[in-house]
Structure 1
Amino acid sequence: MARNKMKNQVIEDLLVERIASEGKCLGHYDGKVVFIEKTAPGDVVDVRVRKSKSSFIEAEVINYKSYSKDRSEPFCEHFGVCGGCKWQHIDYALQKSYKQQQVIDNLSRIGKVALPEISPILGSAETRYYRNKLDFTFSNNRWLTWEEIDSGREFEKNALGFHIPKRFDKIIDIEHCYLQGGISNDVRNSLRDFALQNGITFYDLIAQTGHLRNLIIRTTSTDETMVIVQFGEDDQAVIEQVMNFLKTKFPKITSLLYIINLKKNETFHDLEVVTYAGLPYITEVMEGLQFRVGPKSFYQTNPNQAYELYKVARDFAGLSGNEVVYDLYTGTGTIANFVASQAKQVIGIEYVEAAIADAKINSEINNIKNTLFYAGDMKDMLNDEFIASHARPDVIITDPPRAGMHEDVINMLIKLVAPKIVYVSCNPATQARDLALLDSYYAVEKVQPVDMFPQTYHVENVVLLTLKK
């Protein structure tokens, strides 16, 4: 059948065979791979074709004929709509095994490098309420499910919750989110109800008007809470009304902040953050070290697993106290400060200037004297001039964004010939690509997957590379 004629065709009794990339599953039909979402290996489904290419089909489930024995009952009422926890229907033990295989597949198929035995993935002790940061969006155009539409009932048009996948203008109203504990759910629901009761307008994501625009809640393991409210209009009376409500209703908020954002997007790194009550930061503690987390700071969103991740990186580095360590993409210097006590010197480089300012503060409040931090684009900063003015590294720790490392950075790593590279990645696919580029010079000695995000398909991976003789 011609490709352009397969759209909307129904394929019956398709066996879901295994997990594929990005959390999708796959089966086979007429010699083609069929990718489908919202399924588990072992399901038998009827699907409707949405897209067909020469070698694959993308389809959506229209009927479940039978369910996999490995399915779990989703615990969230919003599962399947908000898109935040796509693997709730899969048993956690299987989630971990799929993530382990994802790492193996990427390193072997994309990287094509010689691999040692890969250590079992480090699972998260908490599979619910593990996040320390959530962003919620206000909208005057709430997403309605088909069940709600078919009911014929009237529903509140305003919403405070998450974006529907692939829809910037539609927000699902969240009643209870299992990602963040503490007072998070109470703060969100109370603020939404207060706004509705007092006629405070929710943001129109298309017209870009309205008072309440965005809500960010950050927490720490030491029970501190930061709440940031973004306002879409500079209406001081409404701002005072909202912020005073939060201050009075939730005295446990230790950092209560607001932002007036009149831009066309919700980013606020270039905007003033006003401290309404409490401190302008919260403090996380890890192994006795304090880390200040400001409204613009990056900090790993699963703090308990971040500790496990950093311990792996430190163990792979094998520091004795005499090494010079380069920490690339250092962020707020969390890893740099974490390993500093076991190194001679740690030099961190990061693109975001505000993050470097945080990194320096974190060294200062922990009385760490052997760190240096520099802000700038990695491919421009890590050059011959920089190397000439600093000690050469014995160990390089690199933790790049999902896109991986720029080729210029990889070429400089080859030029530096550090005995060890510890590569921390949130995207094993781009990590594998980079490992292939380093393969002529470095051998993969250890691999340790770490699950930072239960109920999702995302996985972190740490690789130890040693210089080939």
Structure 2
Amino acid sequence: MTKQSKPESALVEITGLSHGGEGVGRIDSTAVFVPHAIPGDVGEVEIVHRRKNYFLGRLVNLKQSSPERIDPPCPHAPACGGCQLQHMSYAGQVSWKRLQVEEALRRIGGLEVEVAPVLRMSAPIHYRSRAQLPLGGSPGQVTMGFFRRGTHEIVDMQECMVQHPLMVKLAQAVRRTIADLRLPPYDEVRHRGIFRHAVIKASFSDETLMLVLVTRTESIPLQEEIVERLRREVPELVSIAHNINPTVTNVVYGERTKVIWGEPYIYEQIGGMRYAISPRSFFQVNPQQTKALYDEVRRLANLSGGELVLDLYCGTGTIGLYLAKRAGRIVGVETIPDAVSDAKYNAAINRVSSAEFIQGQAEAVVPDLVRRMGEIDVAIVDPPRKGCEEAVLKALAQADVGRIIYVSCNPATLARDLAYLRERGYTPGRVQPVDMFPWTSHVESVVLLSRRS
């Protein structure tokens, strides 16, 4: 019988944070990534996994605490994977997020660009307006919450300090209703059961709720009773939709969605504009910081009333419409047909007649717009985390767009794309980070690029 070797450990000083929020230190010359550790911590770290160029570690004994370390304000931390920085002060979080942007610009983009202090929240709690909650367990014993970090194990959520309180109220009602009716939640391993996710959306301005029940099955058993119970328990609920996702996948939504009760939209008010939110539409999850972000875009655009503004990756048209009263014309481009329909509806309810929305690939649409409309004064790009396709940036540069405003949710791809545009005649100005997601490792940024003469 062989004696089991003791896991290797070492005393490690944490000197940085990774883009995912793990503490970063070194064992000899090898980087080690340690969840739930922050710069200034010193502790015994056990090596959990060895990779070719780095280690993954686990903090087993904290010897010295960082000045920024706090007791997590959420009772579900550190098990819940929703927030990565519950153990770090808010001041420490925003300082690190600014540093994260600076380092990405310098290391990835080779750029020495000024990064402004982060636009932070005054009270970073109850800020989220959307949650995607997986369901598990068994009939009568339903679990619902967020996945444990790095797993698909559900941490049962009884409360949540970052969600709007009405969303927590509705989540508890959904859990009770499905459990009381002894309906089977989804079993991810066996691909059985019914209820996969409850997607909850809230309007902060109207204090109303939308629920999307995602099921494996074509129909919802006891649908009328479920609807009646939820309406009775949560009077703020104004819309219930059903999404059907029968495939073996980690993707939340299936292709088909239908409203089974109530209104097709809820509405959010941002800076005098009213936006419709449908069951499948994307909308920024933090309404208060969305206004701060859009105000910064409007400031950078510096419109005088006659400009042609191109809004790429426009989604439901929110940024372009926010600028519409100060622009001559807004043209939004989006690949998803449903989002384009929602954008047109948003223009209608805000009585904006100077905006048009086109469904298509941006790299194909931009040259045609130049031929049809002439010079594009300002282009706004707000791509997903993977950043802009090179063909989109190339099309903007070839169209000789005077100013480009880049809105980014990923410092790494922002740095890459700014470097590409700099090589093609654009000068990036000061980068403004915005804290859209307190207690997490994510940060939004916005920057103006001007065409060099």
- TM-score by length of structure 1 reads 0.90
Alignment partner for residue 399 of structure 1, among 382, 393, 398?
A: 382
Q: Which residue of 2 aligns with 1:418?
A: 401
1:282 aligns with 2:266: yes
Matched to 1:128, the amino acid is I
Matches within 5 A, 1:64-103: 64-103=62-101
> 263-272 vs 36-45, which deviates more?
263-272
1:464 aligns with 2:448: yes
1:17 aligns with 2:1: no
Alignment partner for residue 130 of structure 1, among 119, 127, 132?
A: 127
Matched to 2:427, the amino acid is A
1:246 aligns with 2:243: no
Q: State the number of aligned residues.
A: 446
List runs of 5+ in structure 1 lacking aligned partners. Answer: 1-6, 143-155
User: How big is the shift at 1:239?
Assistant: 1.8
Matched to 1:77, the amino acid is P
Alignment partner for residue 433 of structure 1, among 397, 408, 416?
A: 416
- After superposition, the C-alpha distances for 1:136-193 in whole angstroms (9 at most, x for unaligned) are 1111279xxxxxxxxxxxxx8531111223333x212111111212322222122212
Aligned pair in 2 of structure 1 residues 400, 260: CA closer, same or farther (>3 Å)? closer
User: How big is the shift at 1:19?
Assistant: 2.0
8 Å contact from structure 2 (residues 158, 172) kept in 1 = yes
SS at 1:140 equivalent: strand
- After superposition, the C-alpha distances for 1:295-338 in whole angstroms (9 at most, x for unaligned) are 01111000110110011111111111111111110010000100
User: How big is the shift at 1:418?
Assistant: 1.4
> 203-212 vs 93-102, which deviates more?
203-212
User: How big is the shift at 1:457?
Assistant: 0.9
Q: Which residue of 2 aligns with 1:293?
A: 277
8 Å contact from structure 1 (residues 211, 235) kept in 2 = no
User: How big is the shift at 1:269?
Assistant: 5.9
> 316-325 vs 34-43, which deviates more?
34-43
8 Å contact from structure 2 (residues 243, 254) kept in 1 = no
Matched to 1:171, the amino acid is I
List runs of 5+ in structure 2 lacking aligned partners. Answer: none
- After superposition, the C-alpha distances for 1:5-43 in whole angstroms (9 at most, x for unaligned) are xx9742332111222322121112212222211112222
Separation in structure 2 between the aligned mates of residue 130 and residue 61 of structure 1, nearest angstrom: 30
8 Å contact from structure 1 (residues 333, 348) kept in 2 = yes
Q: Which residue of 1 aligns with 2:39?
A: 41
Separation in structure 2 between the aligned mates of residue 33 and residue 270 of structure 1, nearest angstrom: 42
Alignment partner for residue 324 of structure 1, among 301, 304, 308?
A: 308
1:314 aligns with 2:298: yes
SS at 2:95 equivalent: helix
User: How big is the shift at 1:59?
Assistant: 1.5
Q: Which residue of 2 aligns with 1:27?
A: 25
1:106 aligns with 2:104: yes
Separation in structure 2 between the aligned mates of residue 272 and residue 184 of structure 1, nearest angstrom: 21
8 Å contact from structure 2 (residues 94, 120) kept in 1 = yes
Aligned pair in 2 of structure 1 residues 213, 269: CA closer, same or farther (>3 Å)? closer
Separation in structure 1 between the aligned mates of residue 219 and residue 378 of structure 2, nearest angstrom: 52
Separation in structure 1 between the aligned mates of residue 294 and residue 385 of structure 2, nearest angstrom: 18
Aligned pair in 2 of structure 1 residues 268, 84: CA closer, same or farther (>3 Å)? closer
Q: Which residue of 1 aligns with 2:202?
A: 219
- After superposition, the C-alpha distances for 1:105-163 in whole angstroms (9 at most, x for unaligned) are 11111111242x32211002331110000011111279xxxxxxxxxxxxx85311112
SS at 1:284 equivalent: strand
> 20-29 vs 420-429, which deviates more?
20-29
Separation in structure 1 between the aligned mates of residue 7 and residue 53 of structure 2, nearest angstrom: 16
Q: Which residue of 2 aligns with 1:271?
A: 256
SS at 2:404 equivalent: strand
8 Å contact from structure 1 (residues 121, 449) kept in 2 = yes
8 Å contact from structure 1 (residues 217, 227) kept in 2 = yes
User: How big is the shift at 1:221?
Assistant: 1.8
> 223-232 vs 412-421, which deviates more?
223-232
Matched to 2:194, the amino acid is H
Matched to 1:175, the amino acid is Q
User: How big is the shift at 1:97?
Assistant: 0.3
8 Å contact from structure 2 (residues 82, 147) kept in 1 = no
> 302-311 vs 285-294, which deviates more?
285-294
8 Å contact from structure 2 (residues 245, 255) kept in 1 = no
Separation in structure 2 between the aligned mates of residue 8 and residue 24 of structure 1, nearest angstrom: 24
User: How big is the shift at 1:53?
Assistant: 4.5
Q: Which residue of 2 aligns with 1:369?
A: 353
- After superposition, the C-alpha distances for 1:39-72 in whole angstroms (9 at most, x for unaligned) are 1222222122233356432212222223223211
Separation in structure 1 between the aligned mates of residue 197 and residue 267 of structure 2, nearest angstrom: 23
- After superposition, the C-alpha distances for 1:374-414 in whole angstroms (9 at most, x for unaligned) are 112223333x3343123321011111111011111111111
SS at 1:309 equivalent: helix
Separation in structure 2 between the aligned mates of residue 8 and residue 280 of structure 1, nearest angstrom: 59
Aligned pair in 2 of structure 1 residues 224, 158: CA closer, same or farther (>3 Å)? closer
Matches within 5 A, 1:197-208: 197-208=180-191
